[in-house]
């Protein structure tokens, strides 16, 4: 027998170009309440929150209304918003209002995506919503990067300067590889069958790495933990340094982790803060890869993304380094990642993200010291003794063509 049903209803309208008006209703067998919220699109902040009771139980309930204003200033895409609402509105006002507010905020996130999509469609009329989402959040693996993109709405055109593409030739790039000593390792590769999206076996990847003169390769298959003995066997079999890492899909994008033996496949998409804790426990190292993949595809000015905003993305607080040279993104996206890394004072790595043999070594990471095993590599990463390099393009005769390294 059904004891009660609880229903929440949210409707959202655009009050003016920069404001959404949200009306939420919650109704169950005991309580009936409504909320009216205004959200500013340019910074996704709650600018007004009010409520009313239709039905309630105790004389305490009406007092809750005066505490709803605590939520003014909360940002729809801020980290831990749900917990924050529960801790503030849930405790000071009432948990029913907290539940309803969370529902309203979640709905706003969806609406913001739809608005962004509609704006992109002005330039790209054929773009479906799914294509739009996969452009913002590639691999369509559910990583939810869109919520960190804030809207500039109609103010973009006059105030926003487009991102400038800087020619960034790192010092190390002008010096021949061998003359620098140390080791050059491609830290980001995918092999089949460990990564179903790859078309190259680990043996072929390793042989190609050896052929083009890399000093080592790191197998970083998606959400896949390589057995350390298998990796050692590969090193012996090919007479070439093979290491392992894991590219893990989190709620805030893809992370390369080293030194972590956790198999997360059963968990599905993991929360970044959870992963950070695991990596710390394991004394490992974590790098965000292709942090802006797809972001610049549609024209950055439409997204309202600028360096300052990009640097504030919460994910950067959780990582040890940023992949600033990735073989599968545009030069502009790499360049932007590089500027963010510089701005935040984080180290940058390079990796090809190869899914075919011909892509391995496009970009790689130079370590200043020699590395013989995984432990060494993590140690060198932690000491910051590395830099990203464009490797394949300087090995003339080997490189035929590639999409991004056209400098
Ligand atoms: Zn990835
Ligand atoms: Zn990858």
3-state class (DSSP) for residue 253: strand
Q: Which ligand is nearest to the CA of 248?
A: 1
Return residue ranges of the chain for CATH 3.20.20.140: 171-394
Report CA(137)–ligand 2 centroid distance (Å): 13
Report CA(157)–ligand 2 centroid distance (Å): 34
* Cis before 193 (ω within 30): yes
Phi, psi of 84 (to 5 degrees): -65, -40
The protein residues having their C-beta less than 5 angstroms from ligand 1 (an ion) are 254
Work out the pLDDT band at 58, boundaries 50, 70, 90. confident
Q: Which ligand is nearest to the CA of 249?
A: 1
Give per-residue pLDDT as tens, 74-114. 999 888 899 999 999 998 888 899 999 999 998 898 888 88
Give per-residue pLDDT as tens, 333-385. 899 999 999 999 999 999 999 999 999 999 999 999 899 999 999 999 999 99
CB 70, CB 88: distance < 8 Å: yes
Q: Which ligand is nearest to the CA of 293?
A: 1
Report CA(397)–ligand 2 centroid distance (Å): 26
Report CA(326)–ligand 2 centroid distance (Å): 9
CB 38, CB 46: distance < 8 Å: yes
Report CA(286)–ligand 1 centroid distance (Å): 13
Give per-residue pLDDT as tens, 157-183. 333 333 222 223 333 333 344 455 689
Report CA(73)–ligand 1 centroid distance (Å): 34
Q: Which ligand is nearest to the CA of 189?
A: 2
pLDDT value, residue 136: 62
Report CA(403)–ligand 1 centroid distance (Å): 17
Return residue ranges of the chain for CATH 3.30.390: 7-120
The protein residues having their C-beta less than 5 angstroms from ligand 2 (an ion) are 247, 353
Work out the pLDDT band at 322, boundaries 50, 70, 90. very high
Report CA(132)–ligand 1 centroid distance (Å): 18
Residue 268 has pLDDT above 80, yes or no: no
Structure tokens at 338: 């590089």
Q: Which ligand is nearest to the CA of 354?
A: 2
Report CA(216)–ligand 2 centroid distance (Å): 17
What CA–CA distances, in Å, run from 275 to 210, 237, 291? 33, 33, 17
Report CA(382)–ligand 2 centroid distance (Å): 21
Alpha carbon distance 253, 260 (integer Å): 18
CATH architecture of 7-120: 2-Layer Sandwich (3.30)
CATH architecture of 171-394: Alpha-Beta Barrel (3.20)
């Amino acid at each position: 027998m059904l004891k009660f049903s609880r229903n929440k209803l949210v409707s959202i309208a655009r009050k003016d170009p920069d404001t959404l008006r949200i009306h939420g209703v919650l109704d169950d067998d005991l309580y009936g309440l409504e909320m009216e919220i205004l959200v500013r699109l340019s910074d996704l902040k709650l600018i007004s929150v009010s409520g009313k009771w239709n039905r309630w139980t105790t004389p305490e309930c009406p007092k809750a209304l005066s505490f709803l204003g605590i939520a003014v200033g909360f940002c729809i895409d801020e980290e831990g918003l749900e917990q924050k609402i529960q801790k503030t509105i849930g405790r000071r006002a009432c948990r029913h209002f907290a539940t309803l507010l969370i529902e309203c905020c979640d709905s706003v996130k969806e609406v913001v995506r739809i608005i962004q999509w509609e704006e992109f469609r002005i330039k790209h009329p054929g773009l479906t919503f799914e294509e739009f989402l996969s452009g913002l959040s590639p691999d369509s693996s559910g990583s939810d990067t869109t919520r960190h993109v804030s809207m500039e709405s109609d103010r973009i055109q006059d105030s926003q300067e487009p991102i400038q593409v800087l020619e960034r030739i790192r010092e190390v790039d002008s010096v021949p590889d061998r003359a620098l000593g140390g080791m050059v390792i491609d830290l980001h590769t995918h092999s089949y069958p460990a990564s179903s999206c790859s078309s190259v076996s680990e043996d072929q990847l390793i042989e190609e790495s050896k052929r083009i003169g890399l000093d080592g390769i790191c197998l970083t298959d998606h959400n896949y933990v390589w057995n350390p003995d298998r990796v050692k066997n590969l090193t012996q079999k090919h007479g070439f340094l093979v290491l392992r890492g894991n590219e893990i899909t989190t709620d805030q994008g893809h992370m390369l982790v080293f030194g972590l033996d956790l198999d997360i496949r059963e968990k599905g998409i993991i929360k970044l803060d959870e992963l950070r804790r695991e990596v710390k426990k394991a004394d490992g190292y974590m790098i965000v890869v292709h942090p802006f993949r797809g972001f610049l595809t549609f024209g950055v000015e439409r997204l309202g993304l600028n360096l300052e905003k990009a640097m504030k993305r919460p994910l950067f607080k959780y990582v040890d380094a940023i992949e600033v040279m990735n073989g599968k993104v545009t030069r502009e996206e790499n360049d932007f990642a590089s500027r963010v890394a510089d701005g935040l004072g984080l180290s940058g790595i390079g990796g090809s993200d190869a899914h075919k043999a011909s892509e391995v070594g496009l970009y790689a990471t130079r370590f200043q010291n020699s590395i013989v095993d995984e432990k060494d590599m993590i140690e060198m990463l932690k000491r910051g003794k590395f830099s990203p390099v464009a490797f394949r393009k300087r090995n003339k005769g080997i490189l035929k063509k590639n999409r991004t390294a056209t400098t």
